[in-house]
Amino acid sequence: MDKGLNDMKKPVRRVVIAGGGTAGWMAAACISKVLGKQLDIRLVESDEIGTVGVGEATIPTLLNFHNLLEINEQEFMAETKATFKLGISFENWRDVNQDYIHSFGLTGTDHWTAGFQHFWHKGRERGLASDYGDYCLELRASQQNKFAHLPHNGMNYAYHLDASAYARYLRKFSERFGVQRIEGKIVDVTTSALTGQIRSITLDSGVDIEGDLFIDCTGFRALLIGQALKVAYQDWSQWLFNDSAAALQTASVGDAVPLTRSIAHPFGWQWRIPLQHRVGNGIVFSSRHVEQDQALAALMGNIAGEPLMKPRVIKFTPGQRTQVWKGNCVAVGLSSGFLEPIESTSIHLIQRSIIRLMQMFPTDGIVQADVDEFNAQSSHEVEHIRDFIILHYKVNNRVEPYWQAARDMQVPASLQHRIDLFRETGRVFRVPNELFAENSWIQVMLGQGIMPLRHHQTADLMGDAELSHFLGAIKGQIDKTVAGLPAHQAYVERYCGVPK
């Protein structure tokens, strides 16, 4: 009898990570740190295969991942030439020359019956409130290019980092906990004829590598989950038009700002990510709305600093796998699906997959109930992020065909409900375990041009004098704190600067 019949019940002792890059080495780092003494962990990657390299901006959840691994922040930032990030500047998204910032952290002070946006809305009606962002510390600090660590984690932040250097850093970390790196290209995947589970992968050297659990970090190629196991892919291009990107690095020409810049074009958008030693640039576009040469020309015409490489074009299909865990294979990173990096969620989704796997790790054998729960949680999480990204396109006032089509498209009912709810009542909600909190939805919906028609009646209980004092006290404290912060560039140089 084929021994594969017992594969599901077999204890997991040999873990094979197919592919390196950010996804592979994050998986290796976490699994080896926690279970390295109980497992044989091997990572296969080829120096000849480059990484996509667009995941260079992060969100604050990465700090949690690093805390779990007990990574020293200064060491990590020095190794990856990292800078701090307080949010994303969306330029020309609502319309040309209309900009806003989606910042980290909270805005104002909520009441238990109603969020701060209701009091702000009342203040705007009465001429007592300034811009919504004036009541958010992280946003005001980012506007003035300031940063510092504050007591009691008083400043929410993330990082801009060199993705290739991050993978190298995590490789060194992982190897300390016993991970074995194997150089080679994967040329074949052997599965059991009876169970369909993966038995081994074959390298171009002819070596077969057997394992009990395989983690597919082979990027868009999805050699294991897609090609070998034939897991279908859900295409979301009816809502997300962009299918191409081009990445480019340039020399730094000024101080690094604590913001990722997202600059809208008539056919897509462009990013700028400032590191200590260079700037990451790129353009994301729809090949249905612009020729590739025109998109590349727009990118090259909107950079600052000398190009350090030729633009590298990446083709993609937005969407996700119908299953990210099948049999004894778990897809992590681009092999599991792709959402454009407009909200810097790529690395977050990698770490969520890894942490979820650790919580359900099949030490004593794979349990189908765990697999089903893993897939359900993964699907719901990505769909919430998908809706948040679609929001940026659906709500706009631009006149180009690309933007008009986005404005006119029918969006998922889950998103349309959120838009209608905020427009009608000013209310937002957060689904359990959803990534983006209420303040993120508020900042983007206001920034894209949705002003609520009404506010909660609790705000009406305040008279003008009381409301003015309430709003002024919040803004005054933020202004005072920001005034005392050092410049971001100077702080980075002191804290984790790399000698030039």
Q: Which two tokens stand for residue 261?
A: 């810049």
Continuous segment of H or E residues that includes residue 199: strand 198-203
Sort 37 into a burial class: Cβ within 10 Å, 0-12 / 13-18 / 19+. Answer: exposed
Question: Which residue from 159, 120, 161, 155 is spatially nearest to 139, judged by alpha carbons?
Answer: 155
| Helix boundaries (H) for 156-287 | 163-176
Q: Left, alpha or beta for 403 (phi > 0: left; psi -120 to 50: alpha)?
A: alpha
CA atoms within 13 A on the CB side of 189: 22
Instruction: Give dist(CA 137, CA 86) in Å, integer.
Output: 10
Instruction: Give dist(CA 481, CA 467) in Å, integer.
Output: 22
Instruction: Give dist(CA 48, CA 50) in Å, integer.
Output: 6
| Helix boundaries (H) for 57-144 | 61-69, 73-79, 116-125, 137-143
85 an active-site residue? yes
Contact 248, 257 (CB under 8 A): no
Angle formed by the axes of helices 413-425 and 368-394, nearest 10°: 50
The conformation of residue 427, written as its DSSP 8-state character, comes to -
Sort 205 into a burial class: Cβ within 10 Å, 0-12 / 13-18 / 19+. Answer: exposed
Rounded alpha-carbon distances, angstroms, from residue 211 to 15, 16, 205, 274, 335: 6, 6, 18, 40, 19
Sign of CA dihedral 307, 309, 310, 315: negative
Instruction: Give dist(CA 155, CA 141) in Å, integer.
Output: 10
Q: Which of 85, 122, 394, 475 is catalytic?
A: 85
Instruction: Give dist(CA 285, CA 389) in Å, integer.
Output: 14
Instruction: Give dist(CA 142, CA 102) in Å, integer.
Output: 10
Q: Which two tokens stand for residue 125?
A: 């009606």
Residues classed as catalytic: 85
